[in-house]
């Protein structure tokens, strides 16, 4: 490998996260003998799977300089639909397909409003977040559903070749979206829109259609995450998915997706999700207060955003 290539690798956010993960793993492994146990590491990866999958969708939205705070509410609606479908005896493969389609449909609402009305994404998704959270409550009638069939539960708790099933889903979508963003023309359009939407439009890129597509794809990822959450927890409540979007946005930003748009990767966002999970899990095991966890993750996010802003300023000089 050439020296210049190595230098570029060392400067990437992904490399920085890997170094931080190694340091944190060493520290938590020293402070708690349970941290590096097989069961705990498996638990960490199961926990991050839904966040990691959803962060792929959030990544392509933020690359376009957008944001989606309705992710948790979309997940909640899909979890209800998936749970009720499982109780009705619908086969698991059909439930997954239904969740993907329903998630894409809900995402298309956000995409249509963002693309064709000019309303800022934060305003649009705040509105749909509230509307869809009320829908979750109505669908459940203020109660909860549980006692799902074991075949459905295995989506979130099963494993294949000793690797949790949700992790396989996460790996699959990481590969698909990494290829899509890097090698497909429409994937490159997403970066162009985030860097300069007007220049992208003048160059012939269908900006409005691409923005609609981005929110549809994100909704599909939230749909998959919703099925996994329902299967893993074995219960769907009125607050299922509440606050989920904050973890997803944190993972995405920590993973190197520039909040200003134009930069980001699926792999980076999943590494960001792993970083959040390691910090959360490690602090629980060493009995640190939840406040400390929030302070550390919040500080890392602020530093990440400031780093992105400084990069933009250097480029503009």
Distance CA 71, CA 54 (A): 8
87 burial type by CB count under 10 A (0-12 exposed, 13-18 middle, 19+ buried) = middle
pLDDT computed for residue 10 by the predictor: 58
Least-confidence region, from 92-106, 258-272, 289-303? 289-303
284-306 b/e with 16+ CB inside 10 Å = b?
Answer: ebeeeeeeebeeebeebbeebee
Residue 211 has pLDDT above 60, yes or no: yes
Confidence of residue 108 (pLDDT cuts 50, 70, 90): very high
Whether 5 has a pLDDT exceeding 60, the answer reads no
pLDDT at 9: 55
Picking from 139, 166, 152, 151, the residue whose alpha carbon sits closest to that of residue 49 is: 166
> How many CB atoms within 10 Å of residue 158?
15
Task: Tell me which of 4-8, 256-260, 287-291, 303-307 is least confident.
Answer: 4-8
Strands 145-146 and 159-160: unpaired
Cβ-based burial of 112 (10 A; exposed 0-12, middle 13-18, buried ≥19): middle
pTM assigned to the model = 0.91
- Residues near 227 by beta carbon (within 8 Å), at least 6 away in sequence: 78, 79, 82, 95, 96, 99, 155, 156
Residue corresponding to tokens 């305003």? 123
For position 286, what pLDDT does the model report?
86
- 176-185, 215-224, 274-283: segment of lowest average pLDDT: 274-283
pLDDT of residue 6: 54
pLDDT (tens digit per residue) in 169-195: 999 999 999 999 999 999 999 999 999
Q: Could you tell me the residue ranges of all domains in the chain?
A: 43-307
Local confidence band at 164 (pLDDT 50, 70, 90 cut-offs):
very high
Segment 164-170 shows an average pLDDT of: 94
pLDDT given for residue 95 in this prediction: 97
Q: Which CATH number is 43-307's, of 1.10.1760, 3.30.70, 3.40.50, 1.10.3470?
A: 1.10.3470
Which tokens go with 253?
């930003």
Separation between Cα atoms, residue 141 and residue 200, nearest integer Å: 46
Instruction: Report whether pLDDT(105) > 90.
Output: yes
């Amino acid at each position: 490998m050439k020296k210049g290539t190595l230098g570029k690798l060392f400067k990437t956010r992904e490399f920085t996260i890997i170094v931080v993960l190694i340091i944190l793993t060493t520290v938590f492994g020293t402070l708690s003998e349970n941290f590096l146990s097989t069961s705990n590491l498996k638990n960490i990866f199961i926990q991050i799977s839904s966040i990691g999958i959803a962060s792929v969708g959030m990544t392509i939205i933020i690359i376009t300089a957008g944001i989606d705070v309705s992710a948790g509410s979309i997940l909640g609606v899909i979890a209800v639909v998936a749970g009720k479908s499982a109780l009705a005896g619908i086969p698991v493969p059909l439930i997954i397909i239904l969740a993907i389609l329903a998630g894409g449909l809900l995402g298309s609402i956000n995409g249509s409003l963002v693309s064709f009305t000019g309303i800022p994404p934060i305003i649009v998704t705040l509105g749909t977040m509230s509307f869809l959270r009320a829908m979750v409550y109505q669908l459940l009638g203020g109660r909860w559903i549980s006692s799902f069939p074991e075949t459905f539960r295995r989506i979130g708790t099963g494993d294949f070749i000793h690797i949790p099933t949700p992790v396989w889903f996460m790996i699959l979508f990481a590969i698909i979206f990494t290829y899509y963003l890097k090698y497909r023309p429409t994937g490159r359009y997403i970066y162009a829109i985030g860097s300069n939407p007007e220049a992208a439009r003048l160059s012939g890129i269908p900006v409005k259609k691409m923005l609609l597509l981005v929110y549809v794809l994100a909704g599909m990822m939230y749909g998959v995450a919703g099925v996994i959450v329902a299967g893993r927890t074995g219960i769907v409540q009125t607050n299922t998915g509440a606050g989920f979007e904050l973890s997803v946005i944190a993972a995405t930003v920590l993973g190197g997706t520039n909040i200003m748009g134009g930069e980001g990767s699926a792999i980076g966002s999943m590494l960001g999700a792993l970083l959040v999970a390691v910090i959360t899990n490690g602090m629980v095991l060493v009995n640190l207060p939840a406040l400390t966890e929030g302070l550390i993750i919040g500080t890392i996010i602020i530093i990440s955003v400031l780093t992105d802003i400084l990069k933009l300023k250097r480029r503009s000089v």
